[in-house]
Amino acid sequence: MNAELEQRVAERTAELEETNEELQAFCYSVSHDLRQPLRAIDGFSKALKEDYKEAIDEEGQYYLERLRHGAQRMGQLIEDLLALSRTSISEFSPVEVCISELAERILDHLKAEEKERRASWIIQPNLSILADKGMVEILLENLLGNAWKFSSKESETRIEFGYLPNEGEGEFFIKDNGAGFDMKYADKLFGVFQRLHETEEFPGTGIGLATVHRIVQRHRGSIRAESSPGEGATFYFTLGATHVD
């Protein structure tokens, strides 16, 4: 029975390795074969708009700009889908990570890109965990990026990041004072291409939170959200077998 079980495990492992190789090949194909023509569409549209500006009327210029916007959006969708797939097939390498420092660096970068925006944040210091550093960075970029984006219409952006040592497993949290959402749609939050706000109001591809959910799953953790329209949102997450200093 042991020999039969070991054989089944070996066969299943081989199948999973083959599936991962196929996914990696697919990612390469998507990355190379789809992004290149999109860059060509965007580049030639830009050249046409600039070099033949006098020959193309205002309506034609508008159409070219829409064409460029569509190509760029498709390119971003491809990038986000690739990031989502990598979180499933990349090697999991847990190390000591100072999550407080990561959060501070990400918010500093966001502020540097919008120097005119009034913004403040509170980050609980010295929060260290055992996790895959690359995945945790992607998770924070998405969650903090969302907090930054959805609070963009407020007079001042306010974001808080910390840790709640509950009686059971403690939770990290990211809180903002942004647009918020209706909790009756909470079940759609972590689905691919699911959006609770119009693209014209808050741009995005609807893949970021699906990526976050995948990363949390790989850490055997959990994630949830609390919010109400106009009252901001708070995301709570755990990262499984981790420790906090």
Give residue-wise pLDDT tens across range 72-101. 777 777 776 777 666 766 777 888 889 999
Instruction: Kindly calculate the radius of gyration of the chain based on its CA atoms and give it in whole angstroms.
Output: 22
**At 94, which helix (H) or strand (E)?**
strand 94-98
- pLDDT confidence of residue 99: 92
Q: In terms of pLDDT, which residue wins out, 211 or 25?
A: 211
Check whether 32 has a pLDDT greater than 70.
no
Burial (CB < 10 A; 0-12, 13-18, 19+), residue 7, is: exposed
Which of 38-52, 112-126, 146-160 bottoms out in mean pLDDT, i.e. has the lowest? 38-52
Condensed to tens digits (0 to 9), the pLDDT of residues 138-174 reads: 899 989 998 998 888 889 999 999 998 876 678 999 9
User: What is the DSSP pairing of strand 128-132 with strand 94-98?
Assistant: antiparallel
How far apart CA 213 and CA 188 sit, in angstroms, is 12
Which CATH number fits the domain 2-89, given the four candidates 2.60.120, 1.10.3470, 3.10.110, 1.10.287? 1.10.287
What are the residue ranges spanned by the domains of the chain? 2-89, 94-238
Q: Topology of 94-238 in CATH?
A: Heat Shock Protein 90 (3.30.565)
Same fold, 2-89 and 94-238: no
Helices 99-113, 133-150: crossing angle, 10 deg rounding: 40
Is 241 strand, coil or helix?
coil
Summary mean pLDDT of the chain: 80
Q: How far apart are CA 50 and CA 186, in angstroms?
A: 44
The pLDDT of residue 168? 63
- Give yes or no for a contact between 131 and 171, defined as CB atoms under 8 angstroms apart: no
Q: What share of the chain is helix, strand, coil (3-state, %, to 5)?
A: 55, 15, 30
